[in-house]
Amino acid sequence: MNQRQRPRRRGQGELEGLVLSALREADGPASAGWVQERLGGDLAYTTVITILTRLLAKGAVTRERAGRSFAWTPVSDQAGLAAHKMRKLLDGESDREAVLASFVTSLEPGDERLLREVLSRAKAEGED
Amino acid sequence: MGVFVFLPLVLPLTAWPIARLAEQHLHPRTATRLLTGLAGAMATCSSVCLGLLMVVGTAQLPGNPLPDGWSDPEVRAAVPYDEVAGRAAVPALLVVVAACGGTLWRHWRMRRRAHRALAGLPGTEVAVLPDEAPYAYALPGKARDRIVVTTALLSCLEPAERRALFAHERAHLTARHHRFLLAVRLAAHANPFLYPLRTAVSYTTERWADEEAAELVGRRRTVARAIGKAALVSRGTPVPTLAEFAAPGPVPRRVAALLAPAPAARYWPSVFTAVGAAAWTAAAGTAVSAMSSANSALTLAVILHAATPL
């Protein structure tokens, strides 16, 4: 309900980024309440918990028990989180090559030997 | 008309030799444009032909909204085995539409998701991701194109080779290679006989970007080494494809091409060499088949137009 009142609904990725950067500003482990306060009370407490749990699943944060709740510590930064998301996307897409032109495609069996031959020959010629 | 109406469906077969020759002997830029254009034209003719066959074969079936005149005996005379062909054309056309729609949708979804994954990063053109998997991608975007590269890949390249890598990816983006790739994919869905053209174009776009990078970096050998190193370091990321027996894969061919002199800026080999003669013959054959393909589709359209009750 709270979601609907807000002028603009933020994307999942955007919120994860916000929470992660807030957590990185803390000295040491921080509670979900601290993160919520840090973000200006813009998000519901449960939303912050949900996002932290999602970040935990992505390996971007760790948590440890502190009394009745958890204390959260960031593991990776924004770039690490982006890397994780990108990996997941690439692993899940079978024909990604058609959309994203990659630098190299996978080597077929036998290609490796051939490639090493070509490169070593090139090296030998280059040294002449 | 006789069996000629079916020509657009099978004539894409004639594009195979030209795809092979273009891939090997033309400048990759020319080859990419030529093969994409060819694939597009032949796929259009083939789809139009399928649509018209469906119309002729099924217009008189009860419950069909098409004008009965489109299925008059005179019209039917133009299509041999019209009953079978018409009915077979319906599922074929549905498959084509579904496959093309699916491809377009997946294309946009992939791009959108990739941009979203990078949303938290500073808006630089190059996004360096800390990841132990070595890969690099050119990610086209509406507002901003991006190059995605991991630290693992960068760490195994020397500075000059990194420049080659970035030049290669930038060439993909500036020349809008993803559009060529999408076009040939759609074409291959419209007519499976065009599949070899898709393979050829995905190779020639890579070669095109390699040549641009070589020109920018100034040393072909550096680009070749960058590709070789990147391929060897990322060989652990397997893609379950059918290995082509005996034929070397695209990477060794790209490296070998870069170690050879730059391809001639001349667009087409002379007709008086063996290669030139073969290329011209294949080109002429393909042009003829593209034209007869278009002609068949057009004739069928004209017949239907004449049969349209006004």
User: pLDDT per residue over A37-80, tens digit each?
Assistant: 888 877 888 888 998 998 888 888 888 888 888 889 888 778 88
Give the residue numbers in A contacting B (CB under 8 Å), as ranges: 11, 13-14, 16-17, 20-21, 76, 78-83, 85-87, 89-90, 93, 95-112, 114-116, 118-119, 122, 126
In sign, the C-alpha dihedral spanning B255, B257, B260, B264 is: negative
Tell which residue, A60, A80, A61, A81, has the closest CA to residue A72.
A61
- Encoding tokens for residue A66? 């502190």
pLDDT: which is higher, B164 or B7: B164
Are B130 and A115 within 8 A, CB to CB?
no
Report yes or no on A82 lying in a domain.
Answer: no
- Residue B245 touches chain A, beta carbons under 8 Å: no
CB A72 within 8 A of CB A31: yes
Report the pLDDT value the prediction gives residue B208, as an integer from 0 to 100: 93
Say how far apart CA B135 and CA B150 lie, in whole Å.
Answer: 6
User: pLDDT per residue over B172-225, tens digit each?
Assistant: 999 999 999 999 999 999 999 999 999 899 899 999 999 999 999 998 999 998
Q: B243 pLDDT exceeds 50?
A: no
Are B230 and A104 within 8 A, CB to CB?
yes
Q: Which of B129, B177, B250 sits opposite A82 (nearest CB)?
A: B129
Mean of all residue pLDDT scores within chain B: 81
Report the pLDDT value the prediction gives residue A125, as an integer from 0 to 100: 66
CB within 8 A of A8, min separation 6: which ones?
Answer: none
Would you give the distance in Å from CA B283 to the centre of its chain?
Answer: 18
Closest-CA distance, A86 to chain B, in angstroms, reads: 6
Question: Of the spans A60-74, B126-140, B173-187, B232-246, which averages the highest pLDDT?
Answer: B173-187
User: pLDDT per residue over B65-91, tens digit each?
Assistant: 777 767 677 767 666 666 777 788 888
Q: Which of A82, A112, A119 sits opposite B117 (nearest CB)?
A: A82
CB within 8 A of B206, min separation 6: which ones?
Answer: A101, A105, B250, B254
CATH number, domain of A31, equals 1.10.10.10
Are B172 and A101 within 8 A, CB to CB?
yes
Say how far apart CA B190 and CA B197 lie, in whole Å.
Answer: 12
- This prediction's pTM: 0.80
Closest-CA distance, B236 to chain A, in angstroms, reads: 8
Q: B155 pLDDT exceeds 80?
A: yes
Q: B151 pLDDT exceeds 80?
A: yes
Q: B169 pLDDT exceeds 80?
A: yes
Report the pLDDT value the prediction gives residue A10, as an integer from 0 to 100: 66
Instruction: Find the closest chain B residue to A16 by CA distance.
Output: B120
- Residue B213 touches chain A, beta carbons under 8 Å: no
- Encoding tokens for residue B206? 């890579």
**Domain, as residue range, for A66:** 2-74
DSSP string, A3-44: HHHSSSPPPHHHHHHHHHHHHHTSSS-B-HHHHHHHTTT-S-
Report yes or no on A45 lying in a domain.
Answer: yes
User: Residue B26: in which H helix or E strand, if any?
Assistant: none
Determine the residue type at A96. R
Say how far apart CA B81 and CA B76 lie, in whole Å.
Answer: 9
Q: B58 pLDDT exceeds 50?
A: yes
Are A79 and B128 within 8 A, CB to CB?
yes
Percent of residues, chain B, with pLDDT higher than 90: 25
Report the pLDDT value the prediction gives residue A83, as an integer from 0 to 100: 86
Closest-CA distance, A23 to chain B, in angstroms, reads: 14
pLDDT: which is higher, B107 or B305: B107
CB B263 within 8 A of CB B215: no
CB-CB neighbors (< 8 A) of A85 in chain B: 116-117
Closest-CA distance, A67 to chain B, in angstroms, reads: 32
CB A74 within 8 A of CB A51: no
Are B228 and A115 within 8 A, CB to CB?
yes
Domain positions in chain B are 2-307
Report the pLDDT value the prediction gives residue B116, as an integer from 0 to 100: 85
Are B228 and A103 within 8 A, CB to CB?
no
ipTM of the complex: 0.72
Report the pLDDT value the prediction gives residue A28, as an integer from 0 to 100: 82
- Residue B224 touches chain A, beta carbons under 8 Å: yes
Report yes or no on A85 lying in a domain.
Answer: no
pLDDT: which is higher, B284 or A50: A50
Report yes or no on A94 lying in a domain.
Answer: no
Report the pLDDT value the prediction gives residue B175, as an integer from 0 to 100: 92
Q: A1 pLDDT exceeds 50?
A: no
Report yes or no on A66 lying in a domain.
Answer: yes
Report yes or no on A65 lying in a domain.
Answer: yes
Q: A8 pLDDT exceeds 80?
A: no
Helix (H, G, I), strand (E, B) or coil at A74: strand
CB-CB neighbors (< 8 A) of B129 in chain A: 79-80, 82-83, 86
* Alpha helix ranges (H) inside chain B: 7-10, 15-25, 28-58, 73-76, 82-117, 151-155, 159-174, 177-190, 195-217, 220-233, 250-259, 274-307
